[in-house]
Structure formats: structure tokens, C-alpha cells
Structure 1
Amino acid sequence: MPIATRIATPTDVDDCARVLAAAFADDPVMSAIWPDQHRRHRALARYFAASIRNFHLPGGGVQVATDEEGHLRGVAVWDPPGQWDQPISRTVRALPELVPAFRFRTTAALTVRRTLDEHHPRTPPHWYLANIGTHEDHRGQGYAAQLISDRLAADPDTAAYLVCTREKNISFYEQFGFEVTGTITLPVGAKPMLWAMIREP
């Protein structure tokens, strides 16, 4: 089955958000922000749409994977080198969309963001894989792998960084040359452990 990847456009935002919301429905980080499963599932699509639209799409790094009929099946949210640290002005503009998603969990969300930022490497310049997910009916069919392979192949001389939220997924990223460089414990919710991973140029 042919898989094609391309840069996302504004018309893809809602589809991307739905795919990521399903993929992260029970993710440890999202569970730390929204411990209540029902509220989490209701909030995620709104959160991802706001995040992609305001923070990631402007950098041109959001990629989608489509099947042979052009249907969106996978999403990779990449921030280009030097663009992972979002300016305060952009965050302020995004608040009207973010606050309804977080509601009473805004403090927890800010704590998670601050913790991840504190552990984020400043050097070398790198692509940052903020999120990646596949449509729930098409997992295990190579969409995520294609998204990562295409991004790394397009810029092999630049490092890449990600935070793995599940230990069982470490081996998946190791296939692409990522190595665990440290662990991060979130100080909220069930205090999940995360794994920082870097792929050198």
C-alpha cells in the first residue's frame, strides 16, 4: 500500500487533531494533565487543533501521511531547528483556544510544559518531534515510520529530538537512530516517567 507524506496545510488541522486525539487518548502525559478520562477525551481534539494551528503549523514542520486515495492516516508534528521554544506573544494569541480545552487543568498543563522545556536540549540545532500519531484503524501499517523516515532523510545533517512517553515505544524510535539520553519525571498526576531521545546528525 503506497504511503505518501506531505506538509500539512490549514485545511488539515481538524483531521490532524482528530487523529492525534485518538492516538493520545490514554497517553501518560495527557493523563497527567487530565486525570479524568471523560474530560480528557473531550478536550484533546480541541487542544491539538489549537496547538497545531497556533504553534506548529506556522513553522512548516507538520507532516501528514496519506493512503493511496489521499485519506489522512498519520500526523507528525515537527518543530524546525530553533523553533521549538514558542514566543510568549504566540502563546498569548493562542489562549482563547487553549483555555477552553484546559479549563481547570491549566496549572497542570503549564507545569508539564515547564518541565519539558527545562529538559529540552539547547544544542545541537535539531528537529523536535512534539507529537506523532496514526489513525486508530490504520496503526501498524507503516504511516508513523514513513513520517519519521522522510523527515530524517530530508535533513540528515541535523539532529532530531523527542520525548518518548511509553517505555515500550523506545525500541520503535531506536530503529531510526534515536538513543535515550535521560529520563524526565513529571511532577503532576501519577508522575509518569518519560524518556528523552536524540538522533545525532
Structure 2
Amino acid sequence: MGRLVQARAADTEVLAGVLASAYRGDPVWSWLMPRDREWRLRVLFRGHLTQQIPYGRVWTDDSRQVACVWAEPGAWKLPAAYLLRNARTLVRAGRWELPRLGARLLALERRHPGAPPHWYVEFLGTRAEAQGTGLGAVVLGGLLERADTDGRPVFLESSNERNLGFYQRLGFVTERRLTFRSGPQMWAMWRHGQPG
């Protein structure tokens, strides 16, 4: 069925393609990037993965059909240095919608809970052709086992209502619906530790 694998720098391009494929039909990303979406998502995710892989925050399966960006407690907030290093990528990917993209990212950061300390599923995506095969549950399930051992909860924001059932089957509970001045809503979800 597959196993959890920590991504390496050599996986960057493939995993950027995985996330671009996974999010191309997503309601929020469709609103943020109405034109040239898959190409722009690939640019955006390539830049982000390049920054996150060296910290051990990107996980996949052995067939490289899933990508998960997973931040340890206290590491979910992107530092100013990250934004400066990725400014060109954000401009290239954001294009005409850069103000909209920036506003949504800032709104999410402002609403991100400061406590309790938690693991954070920043992105989880399965290549479109491999969705429904259980590989996403293998990758995220392996990371959730680590969180359970650590004893701290896990937080995520889902940008697609269709995915809520998947997360609920893995123990997440919808805490609240996130609405914004413009654009599609999202859902804030928590998974509190499961007894080992």
C-alpha cells in the first residue's frame, strides 16, 4: 500500500507537481488563481518545498504520489526571511491576483491558533490520478502516529468541503467555518491526541 517517506531535495520537482495536481480543482485555489492555475501552483509549491524540505517538514509515500508539508509545534509561522527569499516566487505565481493571494495568506496567519502548541498540516495533496487509493491516509496517518506519541494536537485548515470526511475519518473535528471578506470559505480542524 505504501509507506511514509521523508522527502529529499531531489523530490522537489515531482512533489511540486503532485501538489499542483491535487489543488488544481480546489475551490480556494481556483478563486485565487483563475488562469494558468496548475502552472502557477507548480511555481508556488516548488518555491515552498525548496524552503521546507531541508527542515524535514515534507513527507511523501514511496511512489511519490502524495505530498504533505507538516510543521512541528512552534514552527508553523513563516519568518520574514522566508517571505523575502520567496518574494520573486510569490510575484511570479500570484501575478494579477497577488493582492488577493497575499490577503488570504495573511488572513489565515492571523486566525491561526497560538495555543495549545500543535503540529500543523500546512498542505496535504495526492496526485489527482491517485486520489481515493488510500495513499493520503498512509502518509498523514504515519505523521499522526508521531503526534500521538508526542501527545500534542494537530491543526489544519481545509480549503475543500469535499475533504472534510477524509479528515474526520482520521480523527479530526471541525472547530469552525472560516469566512472571509471575499472568496470561498475554509474549515479549521483539530485532532486531539489519540491514546497510544
How many residues end up aligned between the 2 structures?
Answer: 191
Q: In the TM superposition, what whole-angstrom CA distance separates every residue of 1:32-62 from its partner, at most 9, and x where no partner exists?
A: 21123xx2222111111111112x3243121
Match of 1:44 among 33, 41, 46: 41
Counterparts of 1:24-103 in structure 2, within 5 Å, are 24-36=23-35, 39-54=36-51, 56-66=52-62, 71-103=63-95
Q: TM-score, normalised by structure 1?
A: 0.90
In the alignment, residue 164 of structure 2 is paired with which amino acid? I
Q: TM-score, normalised by structure 2?
A: 0.92
Match of 1:162 among 156, 162, 186: 156
Q: Which residue matches 1:125?
A: 117
Counterparts of 1:16-31 in structure 2, within 5 Å, are 16-31=15-30
Q: In the TM superposition, what whole-angstrom CA distance separates every residue of 1:84-133 from its partner, at most 9, and x where no partner exists?
A: 10111111011122221112221111111011112111111111111111
In the alignment, residue 85 of structure 1 is paired with which amino acid? K
Kept in 2: contact 1:178–1:199 (CA 8 A): yes
Quick one: percent identity of the two aligned structures? 29
Q: Which residue matches 2:176?
A: 182
In the alignment, residue 60 of structure 1 is paired with which amino acid? G
Kept in 2: contact 1:23–1:136 (CA 8 A): yes
Return the offset for 1:137: 2.1
Task: Determine the C-alpha separation between the residues in 1 that align with 2:131 and 2:97.
Answer: 30
Task: Determine the C-alpha separation between the residues in 2 that align with 1:193 and 1:143.
Answer: 26
Return the offset for 1:79: 1.3
Task: Determine the C-alpha separation between the residues in 2 that align with 1:187 and 1:30.
Answer: 16
Task: Determine the C-alpha separation between the residues in 2 that align with 1:121 and 1:187.
Answer: 20
Task: Determine the C-alpha separation between the residues in 2 that align with 1:93 and 1:75.
Answer: 22
Secondary structure at the counterpart of residue 40 of structure 2: helix
Secondary structure at the counterpart of residue 186 of structure 2: strand
In the alignment, residue 142 of structure 2 is paired with which amino acid? D
- Contiguous gaps of at least 5 residues in structure 1: none
Q: In the TM superposition, what whole-angstrom CA distance separates every residue of 1:165-187 from its partner, at most 9, and x where no partner exists?
A: 22222111111111111111233
Task: Determine the C-alpha separation between the residues in 2 that align with 1:11 and 1:182.
Answer: 38
- Please provide the CA RMSD for this pair: 1.3
Kept in 2: contact 1:20–1:134 (CA 8 A): yes
In the alignment, residue 42 of structure 2 is paired with which amino acid? A
Secondary structure at the counterpart of residue 68 of structure 2: strand
